[in-house]
Homo-oligomer: A and B are copies of this chain.
Amino acid sequence: MHNQKPLVILGIDPGTTITGYGLIAFSAHSMRPIDYGCIKPPSKYPLHERYLIIYEALEQLIILHRPDAIAIETQFVYKNAQSALKLGIAKGMAILAAGKNKLPIHEYAPKEAKLAVSGKGSASKQHVQRMIQLLLGLSTPPTPEDAADALSLAICHANHLKFQEKLRQGVHP
């Protein structure tokens, strides 16, 4: 935000079945959506190939939109260790897509992302979707949930950067 060029943030909500993504551009006084959606590798494919599809789709998004940073979810709660392992592999795809493209990666807890868009860490999915619609001026609430979660991570990181910038300028946020 030191200059007028908007920063582009790619939010990623990794998952083996569905990986949500959300891209926003923001500057000191505006925030706009670029693209959002989800990567859903065909379930009939072997798991290894599904991970590769996730990686390649994320890399395509990075090449196309040249984000300045990536925001990803910090996971705390799992159904079980086997799910955590699979989720870890999917998360690895996002970490590597960022790393190989020399993009900084920032992690936020789900509560922080909800708080950033709705002011409530315990907001419902529907509330989060409506708030993202308002913040980004979308004609409808973003769906599916995974894409909305990815957008909220991107917005959360944008807010974090704005906050840091204000501190840098000596303005009480």
Q: Which residues of A contact B (CB under 8 A)?
A: 48-49, 51-52, 55, 75, 78, 80-93, 95-96, 98-100, 105
Residue contact B84 to A48, C-beta cutoff 8 Å: no
Residues on B with beta carbons closer than 8 Å to the beta carbon of A89: 88-89, 91-92, 95
This chain: copies in complex = 2
Interface of A is mostly: helix
Give Cα distance in the complex from A96 to B96, angstroms: 9
Whole-angstrom distance between the Cβ of A115 and the nearest chain B Cβ:
23
Sampled A-B contacts (6; CB under 8 Å): A52-B100, A84-B85, A89-B91, A89-B95, A91-B92, A96-B96
Give Cα distance in the complex from A86 to B75, angstroms: 11
